[in-house]
Amino acid sequence: MDLDDYQRAAMRTARDKDAPDEFMHLVLGLVGEAGEVAEKVKKLVRDKNSDLAHLDRDDMAAELGDVLWYAAVLANFLDLSLNDVAQRNVDKLADRQRRAVLGGSGDNR
């Protein structure tokens, strides 16, 4: 499955694009699901001394899937192909690597 195939499949379970406050719903859903990933890691740090052997990979896969769903549907809302979003990101990172600025900070490096 490529990312555009995934995006089309995700859209089968998405609300209508013109649902009230749909943009805000999608953005808040994305950060909420990313927060759930962070929460699981926080508990790993707090309760398991950051030992990755105790990380529930199935839970992480489920949460990352939720992040991916929101990213796909938000991209669709903005009329963006998820394949194109991914390719642009890889191109940006390859350019930063070529210029030896991967470790810097700021969006425009």
Query: How far is residue 59's CA from residue 65's CA, in Å, rounded to a whole number?
Result: 10
DSSP secondary structure letter of residue 33: H
pLDDT at 103 over 90: no
Residue by residue, DSSP assigns 39-75 as HHHHHHHHHHTT-GGG--HHHHHHHHHHHHHHHHHHH
| CA atoms 50, 51, 56, 62: torsion sign | positive
Q: What is the pLDDT of residues 76-96, one digit of tens each?
A: 999 999 999 999 999 999 999
Taking residues 9-23, what's their average pLDDT? 97
- Predicted local confidence at residue 77, as pLDDT: 98
- Predicted local confidence at residue 108, as pLDDT: 78
Taking residues 94-105, what's their average pLDDT? 90
- Predicted local confidence at residue 98, as pLDDT: 95
pLDDT at 104 over 80: no
**CATH numbers and ranges of domains, the chain:** 3-83 (1.10.287)
